[in-house]
């Protein structure tokens, strides 16, 4: 299950301003330049050139000390002419100090960058003295001065330097060592001195430096630690052995608290200990075995429960038993007048017929009237994140948890209040129950719980006792009544698309910066890719919105030149090949002459990297060739001979590579046969270029490769209900893309691929496990279905397009104003990008519901024309 991300608090606080921001504005120094980014206010000393890496310091503090600590540190750092940054607002500080924050980010209130070791040493010693009366939480990656000093430090990067890790699909932070070596700047490790680096202190400094070795303690030494199950700012969770039995050990770090009124990490663990004792004979929680403190860190030791976490993939045959057990546990707790407070799937384990609550930090009694501190997105709407805790809100969270078990993904909605959240969830239940008909009664339980949560009547725990008996036969009719029309969905989509177009037009964003800078912010990978690209750039967004990205072809050469320093700068998905589609769509509209069209295409081709050895669709030869086939199919026979010669060269190269079985291995699922990086994409493109160039040898090779893929899938496609790697179902690396290739080839070759029905069934069965995304998410499935429908006109296929589109819109629709905010693959962001964000999702659904061909692919007419020409020629030859 893809749950909401631990960095959600960082998203909510970005670009925030509050009283602390105003307080910062009163500190001015003529020798400093200040600037804001989304999280920090930077104070840059004028004229200083910082090295790429070095010894840098951090200051942590308690919430009540923010202003006092900043004033002291500001005065000292400006006196030392040192560049630094500080959390821009109290909201940012609260996110950084949240008990649930990742240890790699936590507690960094101020960061300072001395340009040499001597200045670093001097500042550290001064800060140690001036802040000696303050206490602070530990920064995981740093060395903290003794007695929980606010002053902490590490060796690391001053300026951003990254590289893309193709295997793990993430960026790696880099730093430069004093000897010039570039190495990883690992923020997932505790403090250590890198190789070839020495601590910049003298022997005389040892009076305030301590050995970093862990203290030996009899309470800890009696446990054999096996593994770390979780690491958060509040503390760690360990699996350990005590004598012959496994145990769970939780720790609570001192001084971790993000506001004066919130509970500290130690208070949360103490609350858990209290309720473990109260509930020790209830059969709903682990046994508390031990509790002790070492060096101000508190520890709880509980019994180990061997079972299945409720946020793990769950087999269909186990779902009913687990759901009833979960309801029974909630009933038992509620009947004791307990409010759970943070009821989520990850807080329960199922074992031997019982769901055990394993996280009790936020439990309270109903009569305590406590306010919510623990907030996990989507388990309760955001407007309720600070409300008084209630059992009725637990019921809403219980409904979400059960729906998550049923669909294999956390259900989403675009609402801050329970009433509209329930509207969205009921639509999602309607779709899910129509796909998963075997579990209708379980969806009715979700519906029943949502009705309880929104009811004006008082809630009583008896209402969920033996919950299966509460479902009446007539309730089954509720989920059979469709109130949703295709016409209404298209109107909502068009309204939102036009709003986005108006926003762009009003800001004159289409002419901005000649594509050097995008007008929106992409995810981390997208920010490193050419702003031209289909996936993350203006070509993808503006073509999807039907607005030209290029207004002046005289600027084309400069536009391309500005993109050459980016990775994959000439590729279909990430580079200048996308411009061919932009130009082609404009030419088709009649806004370009054939002469200008050809000139522009040659400008693009001449910029391509001749040393690029990749052959795949997304990054290499196949994608560039496919883009040329697209533009050539738009012009008359005999036109663009130079372009056609280039395309023929690429065709010959691709044929040779496919014959030699050369395929990239950048993917994580179907490795060598997927569409973006494997055989499916190259074989489909080779088939199309064989048709264009009347190459019978290439035609046979492509046909055989596609048959091989079909046979491979027919034998190896696994579609278990508990399979949870979302890339398995995607366009780029999964069966949606492979299915696209086979559906298109099947239409051209007039044969039947036996794996297509298997792919279809598997995608429908698992479509709700994904979040929205053109490349990696649910839009991949809609595009597969759309490709299939426009070639078969199968009404059952269109029904599934409609139902999945309805589900997608339900996750994004604000019922108050009919605006859409589609959620991307992260589960909490709303990036604009065509490939991974809102525009791609919106365009996919509009075209699929309107029964149109998809964007950035040959349409059915173009494929048929190429096919007819090839087979007509073959017939004449015979």
Task: Kindly state whether residues 521 and 655 are assigned to the same domain.
Answer: yes
Considering only residues 478 and 13, tell me which one the structure prediction assigns the higher pLDDT: 13
- Residue 646 backbone phi and psi in degrees, to 5: -65, -40
What DSSP character marks residue 377? B
CATH of the domain at 59: 3.30.2430.10
Helix (H, G, I), strand (E, B) or coil at 273: helix
Calculate mean pLDDT across residues 593-610: 91
What confidence category does residue 734 fall into, taking pLDDT thresholds of 50, 70 and 90? very high
Could you tell me which residues are beta bridge partners of residue 117? none
Q: Is residue 639 pLDDT above 50, yes or no?
A: yes
CATH of the domain at 669: 1.50.10.10
The radius of gyration of the chain's CA atoms, rounded to the nearest angstrom, is 30
Task: Kindly state whether residues 150 and 228 are assigned to the same domain.
Answer: no
Task: Kindly state whether residues 541 and 476 are assigned to the same domain.
Answer: no
Considering Cα of 787, then 526, then 833, then 623, what sign does the dihedral take? negative
Residues contacting residue 72 through CB under 8 Å, at least 6 positions apart: 130, 131
Calculate mean pLDDT across residues 189-206: 81
Task: Kindly state whether residues 628 and 739 are assigned to the same domain.
Answer: yes
Q: Is residue 202 part of a domain?
A: no
Task: Kindly state whether residues 139 and 224 are assigned to the same domain.
Answer: no
Considering only residues 850 and 199, tell me which one the structure prediction assigns the higher pLDDT: 850
Residues contacting residue 468 through CB under 8 Å, at least 6 positions apart: 324, 441, 445
Quickly tell me which residue has 């108050």 as its tokens. 816
Q: How many Å apart are CA 285 and CA 349, to the nearest integer? A: 10
Q: How many Å apart are CA 537 and CA 530, to the nearest integer? A: 7
Q: What is the dihedral of CA 361, 367, 373, 378, to 10 degrees?
A: 90
Q: Is residue 195 part of a domain?
A: no
Q: Is residue 181 part of a domain?
A: no
Q: Is residue 206 pLDDT above 60, yes or no?
A: no
Q: Is residue 513 part of a domain?
A: yes
Domain residues for the domain of 66 are 8-160
Q: Is 776 annotated as a binding residue?
A: yes
Of 455, 480, 505, the last residue of a domain is 480
Calculate mean pLDDT across residues 4-29: 84
Q: Is residue 73 part of a domain?
A: yes
Residues contacting residue 584 through CB under 8 Å, at least 6 positions apart: 630, 631, 634
CATH of the domain at 266: 3.30.200.20
Alpha helices (H) in 693-734, listed in sequence order: 696-716
Say which range, 252-261, 348-357, 527-536, 643-652, has the weakest mean pLDDT.
527-536
Task: Kindly state whether residues 568 and 687 are assigned to the same domain.
Answer: yes
Evaluate whether 396 touches 418 at the Cβ level (below 8 Å): yes
Task: Kindly state whether residues 60 and 126 are assigned to the same domain.
Answer: yes
What confidence category does residue 669 fall into, taking pLDDT thresholds of 50, 70 and 90? low
Considering only residues 698 and 528, tell me which one the structure prediction assigns the higher pLDDT: 698
Q: Is residue 524 pLDDT above 50, yes or no?
A: yes
CA distances from 637 to 1, 624, 655, 694, 783 (A): 52, 20, 23, 14, 31
CATH of the domain at 417: 1.10.510.10
328's tokens: 């029974």
Closest among 229, 250, 58, 231 to 139, alpha carbons compared: 58
pLDDT of residue 766: 94
Q: Is residue 200 part of a domain?
A: no
pLDDT of residue 4: 47
Q: Is residue 197 part of a domain?
A: no
Q: Is 486 annotated as a binding residue?
A: no
Task: Kindly state whether residues 96 and 223 are assigned to the same domain.
Answer: no
Q: Is residue 834 part of a domain?
A: yes
Calculate mean pLDDT across residues 450-467: 94
Question: Nearest 5°: CA angle at 152, between 150 and 153?
Answer: 160
Quickly tell me which residue has 């750039």 as its tokens. 537
Q: Is 775 annotated as a binding residue?
A: yes
Helix (H, G, I), strand (E, B) or coil at 685: helix
Per residue in 491-511, pLDDT (tens digit) is 999 999 999 888 777 654 544
Of 240, 272, 303, the last residue of a domain is 303
Per residue in 76-133, pLDDT (tens digit) is 999 999 999 999 999 999 999 999 998 888 999 999 999 999 999 999 999 999 999 9
Task: Kindly state whether residues 223 and 365 are assigned to the same domain.
Answer: no
Please state, for a pLDDT cut of 70, what percent of the chain lies above it.
Answer: 92
What confidence category does residue 474 fall into, taking pLDDT thresholds of 50, 70 and 90? low
Task: Kindly state whether residues 455 and 548 are assigned to the same domain.
Answer: no
Helix (H, G, I), strand (E, B) or coil at 85: strand
Evaluate whether 196 touches 148 at the Cβ level (below 8 Å): no
CA distances from 498 to 198, 349, 551, 844 (A): 59, 47, 20, 15
Task: Kindly state whether residues 398 and 293 are assigned to the same domain.
Answer: no
Question: Nearest 5°: CA angle at 660, between 656 and 663?
Answer: 100
What confidence category does residue 391 fall into, taking pLDDT thresholds of 50, 70 and 90? very high
What confidence category does residue 677 fall into, taking pLDDT thresholds of 50, 70 and 90? very high
Q: How many Å apart are CA 298 and CA 234, to the nearest integer? A: 11
What confidence category does residue 37 fall into, taking pLDDT thresholds of 50, 70 and 90? very high
Element (H, E) at 41: strand 40-45
pLDDT of residue 513: 47
pLDDT of residue 861: 96
Closest among 773, 673, 748, 750 to 714, alpha carbons compared: 673
Side-chain-side CA neighbours of 512 within 13 Å: the count stands at: 15
pLDDT of residue 188: 84
Q: What is the 3-state secondary structure (H, E, C) of 460-508?
A: CHHHHCCHHHHCCHHHHHHHHCCCCCHHHHHHHHHHHHHHHHHHHHHCC
Evaluate whether 79 touches 177 at the Cβ level (below 8 Å): no
pLDDT of residue 693: 96
Calculate mean pLDDT across residues 260-278: 96
pLDDT of residue 481: 55
Task: Kindly state whether residues 384 and 498 are assigned to the same domain.
Answer: no
Q: Which stretches does DSSP call E strand in 203-324? A: 224-232, 235-242, 245-252, 288-294, 297-303, 308-309
Of 520-524, 557-561, 737-741, highest mean pLDDT? 737-741
CA distances from 426 to 498, 667, 807 (A): 28, 36, 10
Of 422, 454, 480, the last residue of a domain is 480
Calculate mean pLDDT across residues 657-666: 71
Per residue in 294-316, pLDDT (tens digit) is 999 999 999 999 999 999 989 88
Number of domains in the chain: 4
pLDDT of residue 726: 82
What DSSP character marks residue 777? S
- Residue 165 backbone phi and psi in degrees, to 5: -90, 105
pLDDT of residue 482: 56
Q: How many Å apart are CA 72 and CA 547, to the nearest integer? A: 53
Quickly tell me which residue has 């051209």 as its tokens. 748
Q: Average pLDDT over the chain, rounded to whole?
A: 90
What confidence category does residue 563 fall into, taking pLDDT thresholds of 50, 70 and 90? confident
């Amino acid at each position: 299950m893809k749950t909401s991300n631990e960095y959600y608090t960082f998203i909510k606080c970005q670009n925030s301003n509050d009283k602390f921001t105003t307080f910062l504005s009163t500190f001015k120094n003529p020798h400093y330049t200040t600037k804001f980014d989304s999280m920090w206010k930077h104070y840059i000393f004028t004229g200083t050139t910082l090295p790429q890496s070095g010894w840098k310091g951090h200051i942590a503090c308690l919430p009540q000390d923010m202003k006092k600590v900043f004033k002291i540190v500001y005065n000292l750092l400006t006196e030392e002419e040192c560049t630094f940054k500080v959390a821009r607002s109290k909201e940012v500080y609260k996110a950084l100090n949240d008990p649930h924050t990742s240890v790699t980010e936590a507690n960094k209130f101020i960061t300072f960058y001395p340009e040499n070791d001597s200045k670093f040493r001097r500042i550290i010693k001064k800060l140690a003295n001036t802040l000696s009366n303050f206490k602070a939480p530990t920064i995981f990656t740093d060395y903290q001065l003794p007695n929980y000093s606010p002053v902490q430090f590490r060796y690391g990067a001053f300026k951003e330097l990254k590289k893309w890790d193709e295997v793990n699909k993430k960026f790696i932070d880099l730093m430069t060592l004093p000897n010039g070596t570039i190495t990883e700047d690992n923020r997932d490790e505790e403090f250590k001195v890198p190789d070839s680096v020495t601590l910049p202190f003298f022997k005389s400094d040892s009076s305030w430096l301590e050995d970093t070795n862990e203290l030996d303690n009899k309470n800890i030494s009696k446990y054999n630690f096996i593994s770390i199950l979780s690491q958060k700012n509040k503390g760690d969770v360990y699996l350990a052995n005590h004598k012959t039995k496994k145990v769970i050990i939780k720790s609570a770090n001192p001084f971790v608290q993000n506001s004066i009124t919130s509970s500290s990490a130690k208070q949360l663990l103490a609350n858990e200990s209290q309720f473990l004792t109260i509930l020790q004979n209830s059969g709903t929680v682990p046994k508390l075995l031990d509790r002790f403190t070492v060096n101000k860190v508190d520890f709880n030791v509980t019994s180990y429960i061997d079972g299945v976490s409720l946020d793990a993939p769950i087999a269909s045959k186990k779902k009913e038993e687990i759901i009833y057990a979960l309801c029974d546990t909630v009933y038992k707790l509620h009947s004791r007048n307990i409010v759970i407070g943070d009821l989520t799937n990850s807080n329960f384990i199922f074992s031997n017929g019982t769901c055990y609550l394993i996280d009790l930090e936020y439990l309270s009694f109903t009569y305590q009237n406590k306010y919510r501190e623990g907030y996990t997105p989507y388990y309760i709407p955001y407007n309720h994140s600070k409300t008084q805790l209630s059992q009725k809100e637990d019921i809403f969270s219980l409904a979400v948890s059960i729906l998550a078990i049923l669909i294999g993904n956390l259900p989403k909605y675009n609402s801050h209040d329970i009433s509209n959240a329930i509207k969205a969830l009921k639509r999602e239940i309607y779709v899910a129950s129509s796909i998963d008909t075997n579990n209708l009664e379980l969806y009715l339980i979700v519906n029943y719980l949502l009705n309880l949560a929104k009811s004006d009547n008082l809630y009583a725990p008896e209402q969920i006792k033996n919950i299966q008996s509460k479902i009446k036969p007539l309730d089954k009719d509720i989920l059979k009544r469709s109130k949703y029309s295709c016409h209404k969905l298209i109107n909502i989509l068009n309204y939102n698309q036009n709003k986005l177009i108006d926003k762009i037009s009003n800001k004159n964003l289409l002419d901005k910066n000649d594509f050097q800078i995008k007008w929106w912010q992409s995810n981390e990978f997208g920010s490193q890719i050419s702003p031209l690209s289909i996936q993350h750039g203006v070509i993808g967004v503006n073509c999807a919105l039907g607005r030209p990205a290029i207004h002046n072809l005289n600027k084309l050469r400069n536009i391309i030149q500005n993109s050459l320093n980016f990775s994959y700068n000439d590729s279909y998905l990430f580079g200048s090949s996308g411009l061919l589609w932009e130009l082609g769509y404009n030419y088709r509209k009649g806004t370009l002459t054939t002469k200008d069209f050809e000139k522009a295409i040659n400008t693009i081709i001449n910029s391509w990297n001749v040393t690029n050895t990749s052959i795949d669709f997304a990054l290499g030869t196949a994608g560039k060739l496919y883009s040329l086939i697209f533009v050539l199919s738009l012009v008359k026979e005999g036109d663009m001979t130079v372009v056609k010669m280039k395309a023929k060269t690429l065709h010959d190269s691709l044929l040779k590579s496919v014959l030699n079985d050369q395929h990239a291995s950048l993917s994580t699922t179907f490795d060598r046969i997927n569409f973006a990086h494997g055989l499916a994409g190259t074989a489909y493109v080779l088939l199309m270029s064989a048709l264009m160039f009347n190459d019978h040898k290439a035609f046979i090779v492509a046909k055989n490769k596609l048959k091989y893929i079909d046979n491979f899938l027919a034998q190896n496609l696994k579609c278990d209900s508990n399979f949870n790697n979302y890339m398995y179902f995607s366009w780029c690396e999964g069966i949606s893309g492979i299915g696209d290739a086979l559906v298109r080839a099947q239409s051209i070759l007039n044969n039947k691929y036996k794996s297509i029905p298997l792919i279809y069934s598997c995608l429908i069965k698992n479509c709700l496990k994904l979040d929205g995304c053109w490349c990696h998410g649910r839009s991949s499935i809609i595009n597969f279905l759309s490709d299939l429908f426009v070639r078969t006109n199968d009404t059952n296929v269109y029904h599934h397009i409609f139902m999945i589109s309805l589900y997608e819109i339900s996750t994004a629709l604000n019922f108050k104003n009919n605006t859409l905010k589609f959620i991307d693959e992260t589960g909490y962001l709303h990036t604009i990008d065509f490939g991974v964000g809102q525009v791609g999702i919106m365009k996919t659904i509009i075209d699929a519901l309107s029964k149109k061909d998809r964007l950035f692919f040959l349409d059915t007419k173009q494929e048929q024309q190429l096919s007819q020409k090839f087979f007509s020629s073959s017939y004449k030859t015979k």
